[in-house]
Structure 1
């Protein structure tokens, strides 16, 4: 089946993102021999993948306004997460399943979901799906290794998603159109642009 070049590029990008997600998930699948420390280290690294992928995607698209929105969204999400952690640290919701503090909301999950939420709000759910899969894996590790409750990871992702709704605007590629204007007593060009 023939796809126009623009559709083919989008199909190739989505396929590459999906394959990258699959490789990450397969390589990170825990075995009985792995220590908890290895899974926690993995979650420490995986939380950066969605935001890094979002930055790479925006750079590929030449969407520098989007990069600014991504940076703003990540900073606001991290600040809001830390503020909530401080607010809840002395209560029941601040205690982690392993006895630690600052459980609510999950910082790892909110950071990972900030990249995914940006992709979804800026470019659409197809581009965001692999990033959300990685974010879900980070959330799974954090709950499975007794660092967070389910409520913590859900709240972290919901916080990132909500912040992206206020900061990130849908992407509209720059376009310039030139059309001839021919009419009674006039000949010219109509030039219009959006960016």
Structure 2
């Protein structure tokens, strides 16, 4: 089991190393660029090195493709100018979508113990996009929502008990589910 955890860590670190050349960007923006790749990469790495089957990998690809295709289509249709005055493609934030897709995948598949740090890292990615003047809050929130919804639609818990918040028909609560 220890070699699988080490494999996931190594996979994530290799992807981080590939993303860290000097881009001429400030440190906050560069950190967001790295984390937007690292979160989904760690999620995919966990399915490849930790799980005994490849159901998680298939679910990851479904969530990733859905999220990215939705973002791409909306960017083409909406054609919103960025806050820094650069041309178009501001709505929604692709960085936020990718980071939150990875975080939501981790949370849905492996639980809140892993999900909370992943969501904090994804929220930081959103912050970096606003701080670097690439997006406003609406762009980031829309990207985050797309990423989360794509994972919630396709991803099932790996094992054990999963607690999920829900809101439907005017009622709110927590749903408890598990595999036995």
Normalising by structure 2, we get a TM-score of 0.70
Mapped to 2, the partners of 1:42 and 1:170 lie a distance apart of 29
Q: CA RMSD in A?
A: 2.7
Q: Structure 2 unaligned runs (5+)?
A: 17-23, 161-178
1:68 to 48, 52, 58: 58
Structure 1 residue 106 and structure 2 residue 93: aligned? yes
> Which structure has the larger Rg over C-alpha atoms?
1
Partner of residue 123, structure 1: 110
After the TM superposition, which parts of structure 1 deviate over 4 Å for at least 4 consecutive aligned residues? Answer: none
Structure 1: which 5+ residue stretches go unaligned? 1-8, 25-34, 174-193
Counterparts of 1:135 and 1:128, CA distance in 2: 10
Confirm or deny that 1:170 pairs with 2:160.
no
Shift of 1:115: 0.8
Match of 1:57 in 2: 46
CA distance in 1, matches of 2:34, 2:121: 11
How far apart, in 2, do the equivalents of 1:137 and 1:172 lie? Answer: 28
- Aligned to 1:149, which of 111, 136, 139? 136
Is contact 1:85–1:103 with CA below 8 Å preserved after alignment?
yes
* Counterpart-to-counterpart distance in 1, 2:42 and 2:55: 16
- Could you report, residue by residue, the CA deviation over 1:9-46 in whole angstroms, capped at 9, with x for unpaired residues? 9xxx8xxx9xx9xxx9xxxxxxxxxx753432332221
Task: For residues 114-142 of structure 1, give each alpha carbon's deviation from its aligned partner in whole angstroms, at most 9, with x where no partner exists.
Answer: 11111112221211122111111111111
Distance between the aligned counterparts of 1:36 and 1:119, measured in 2?
29
SS at match of 2:50: helix
